[in-house]
Amino acid sequence: MNGSLLRVFALECDDESRTISPHVRYISPANVLNDLYKIINCDCVTCTQIEVNGKFFDVWSDDEALLKDKPTPNLYIDDDLIIFGSVVFAKSDEDGGFVELEREEVHLLWNFAQSQFPKLLNFLKNRR
């Protein structure tokens, strides 16, 4: 790993305004976990992999979100149903090390996230 900062994409939520904001953030290869904790605002993370247009991305989120008294939501269905908190999208190499997102990948992920929210909201509302 080199000493330069690595670009990641974050969807960060503001509990007070109930908004989701996209941000490009930078993570130090030498301090990945601490940087993730700061961005996600947590002390334990989990990682899931998703595929978008044939590319694989890591999705980092708060591992203990549902155990907390007041989870920080990222998606509200209504006042009682919260889906998840802030997340960070990144890439990893074959050894599991962080790899910087290209600018076009940030745009790809933002477009993907925007396309999924309406589908998820519709699915959950129709299940009630």
Q: Specify if 107 maps to a domain.
A: yes
Average pLDDT rounded to a whole number, residues 43-64: 89
Determine the structural domain holding residue 102 and report its residue range. Answer: 6-127
Q: Specify if 46 maps to a domain.
A: yes
Dig out the tokens for 14 from the structure: 């503001």
- Selection from 11, 4, 7, 2 nearest residue 116 by Cα: 11
Average pLDDT rounded to a whole number, residues 84-91: 85
pLDDT at 1 over 50: no
Predicted confidence band of residue 66 (pLDDT cuts 50, 70, 90): low
Q: Specify if 1 maps to a domain.
A: no
Mean pLDDT of the chain: 79
pLDDT at 125 over 80: no
Q: Specify if 52 maps to a domain.
A: yes
How many residues can be counted in the chain? Answer: 128
Q: Specify if 119 maps to a domain.
A: yes
Burial class (CB in 10 A: 0-12, 13-18, 19+), 128: exposed
Specify the pLDDT at position 24: 97
Predicted confidence band of residue 65 (pLDDT cuts 50, 70, 90): low
Predicted confidence band of residue 2 (pLDDT cuts 50, 70, 90): very low
Average pLDDT rounded to a whole number, residues 8-28: 85
Specify the pLDDT at position 20: 75
Q: Specify if 47 maps to a domain.
A: yes
Please give the tally of structural domains in the chain.
1
Collapsing DSSP states into helix, strand and coil, what is residue 18?
Answer: coil
pLDDT at 121 over 70: no
